[in-house]
Amino acid sequence: MTLPRDEVTAGMLDELGDFEKLVRSLDAQQWATPSRCDGWTVGDVAGHVIGSMADVVGGRLDGLGTPEVTEREVAERRGRTPAQLADECAEVREAAAGLLAAFDDAAWEASAPGGYEGTLGDGVEALWYDTYLHADDMRAVLGQPPQRTTAGDKVSVSHIATELTKRKWQPTTLAFDGLPEFTVSGGGERLDGDAYPFILAATGRGDATRLGLDDSLNLYA
């Protein structure tokens, strides 16, 4: 179940503001560092995140999230500096604020445009999660500690629960420290403790066996 509209709207805009600051803080050497996203530099990761938001606010929604569209977003931004992409991030954040303010509850619960499987709210939640996770991808290879937030962990677990349920993954109740409970496939055996190892394992960035699970947890396998 998607988080409440007001919570996702505020969280998405806050995350974009934090992402802009991260991008603006980087130098050329950091920008060119290989990331933990295969084949991408840190700058490519930033290009994907900002390019996705630019596509959304520009109404270019067909195929959003597919490998072809994702690679186009990155390719369009290769060669730009951190400052240039940070400026674009600020611009798309402003445009997103206007767009999100126009949605009412009915629109939020309606099917997402562009072929995304889920509601409009699900789609915006996915964008917030993606921004939070990719910021962690960038910091991880730059030797920076994770900048975790309760809101970021919460949206990540919410999105992962939604996606695992779509895949009819095993019935599970996600009951991580400091977060509300989320159910997968109607709920079942409880997973608790720190959410971060679960988020990493569910996105192919960590070892699911350390949680007593297998690779079926990985959304991207």
Last residue of a domain, one of 92, 112, 147: 147
Number of domains in the chain: 2
Q: Are residues 187 and 137 in the same domain?
A: no
Structure-block tokens of residue 179? 């977060």
Spatial separation of the C-alpha atoms in residues 44 and 36, rounded to whole Å: 11
Instruction: Note whether 52 and 143 are same-domain residues.
Output: yes
Q: How far is the C-alpha of 125 from the C-alpha of 83, rounded, in Å?
A: 26
The pLDDT tens digits of the residues spanning 48-82 come to 999 999 999 999 988 888 899 999 999 999 999 99
Of the three residues 103, 119, 147, the one that is the final residue of a domain is 147
Examine the domain organization and report whether 120 and 56 are in the same domain. Answer: yes
Question: Domain of 157?
Answer: 151-217
- Distance, CA of 68 to chain centre: 18
Q: What Rg, from alpha-carbon coordinates, does the chain have?
A: 17
* Boundary-marking domain end, from 124, 147, 170: 147
Domain co-membership, 212 together with 183: yes
Dump pLDDT digits (tens) for 7-47. Answer: 999 999 999 999 999 999 999 999 999 999 889 999 999 99
pLDDT in tens, 84-105: 999 999 999 999 999 999 999 9
Same domain flag for 57 and 163: no
Strand 182-184's sheet: what is its strand order?
Answer: 182-184, 172-176, 189-193
The answer for residues whose C-beta is within 8 angstroms of residue 161's C-beta and 6 or more apart is: 174, 182, 183, 184
- Give the separation between CA 167 and CA 54, rounded to whole angstroms: 29
For residues 127 and 179, state if they share a domain.
no
**Residues 35, 128: one domain?**
yes
Q: Which residue has the tokens 């991260």?
A: 22
- Regarding whether 173 and 80 lie in a shared domain, the answer is no
- Token pair 């970021």: residue: 152
* CATH number of the domain bearing residue 140: 1.20.120.450
